[in-house]
Amino acid sequence: MKKTLRFFLAFVVLAHIVLQASAQDESSFGAFYALPVGSFGSTDVKEGGFAKPGWGFVFDSRSTYKFLPKGMSLYFHSTYQWNTMDTEKVAEAFTQALGRRTVTSSSRYSPLLTTIGPAYTFDLGQKVKLGVNTSVGIMFNNTRAFSLQVYDDNNNELLRETINFNNNVAFAYTAGFELKFPILENVLSGAIYADYTGAKQKTELTFDTLDPISSFQKIRYLNLGFKLIVPKKKAE
């Protein structure tokens, strides 16, 4: 776990250094609604992530270089979110699969994402702009451990296990767009945006009495949100 966190922090620091060395045009921050996509939100007992819709925060910045075409910039994207695991559905799925009543405690996913890539801005009018972007980077997802109990027909406990998730840093990619509009001219803008993120995470499940299990989990979600954009102050 410590090695994973050091790797993630090193990537963030490197990205920060690259951006500080460039002409940073704007910074933005906001919040979003996170919708699980595909197997991440599935309730299939074999490969489902049982993730429910959640919320998160986004921090972005854009930097331009002289050699880039007009409208193009370097895009730095960072998010943190939380998606509750639907442990009631987990209990139902295991009850059906095992033929025994199963009870689980609460759990949640907390993906932390950092990516860098190109962005392009188009003028849709005098004030409204359309931005598109794509980026690649890394994701670290912290999954909260939860307990699982299995009972027989007489309500006698047959099994009690704590399931721990030892997740590795995963390669991640994003693609998105935003509609940007001024709030205070040359001082503050707003943007409605959406982006799609995907990653394939390797994880090791450990238990109280059972042998560890290594597996992969696809983490995919669609974020819909709003952010405030602060432009760089122009030199006088």
Domain residue spans of the chain = 2-230
- How many CA atoms within 13 Å lie on the side-chain side of 218? 13
Looking at residue 125, its pLDDT comes to 85
Quote the CA–CA distance of 218 and 17 in Å, as a whole number.
30
> What are the structure tokens assigned to 48, written together?
């489902």
Looking at residue 25, its pLDDT comes to 80
Q: Is the predicted pLDDT of residue 235 greater than 80, yes or no?
A: no
- Residue 37 φ/ψ, nearest 5 degrees: -125, 145
Looking at residue 46, its pLDDT comes to 82
Looking at residue 166, its pLDDT comes to 92
- pLDDT digit string, tens, across residues 71-120: 899 899 999 999 999 999 999 998 998 889 999 999 999 999 999 999 99
Looking at residue 225, its pLDDT comes to 97
- The model carries a pTM of 0.85
Q: How confident is the model at residue 68 (pLDDT cuts 50, 70, 90)?
A: confident
Checking phi first, is residue 50 left (phi over 0); if not, alpha (psi -120 to 50) or beta? left
Q: Is the predicted pLDDT of residue 33 greater than 50, yes or no?
A: yes
How would you label 50-84 residue by residue, b for 16+ Cβ within 10 Å and e otherwise? bbbebebebebbbbbeeeeeeeebbbbbbbebebe
Mean pLDDT of 130-136: 96
Q: How confident is the model at residue 189 (pLDDT cuts 50, 70, 90)?
A: very high
Q: What is the mean pLDDT of the chain?
A: 88
Q: What percent of the chain has pLDDT over 70?
A: 88
- Domain topology for 2-230: Porin (2.40.160)
- pLDDT digit string, tens, across residues 148-186: 999 999 999 999 999 999 999 999 999 999 999 999 988
Looking at residue 236, its pLDDT comes to 46
Residue 126 contacts by C-beta under 8 Å, 6 or more apart in sequence?
none
Q: Is the predicted pLDDT of residue 193 greater than 60, yes or no?
A: yes
Mean pLDDT of 192-202: 96
Mean pLDDT of 197-216: 91
Range in 66-70, 143-147, 171-175 the model is least confident about? 66-70
Looking at residue 101, its pLDDT comes to 94
Q: How many helices, marked H, and strands, marked E, lie in the chain?
A: 2, 11
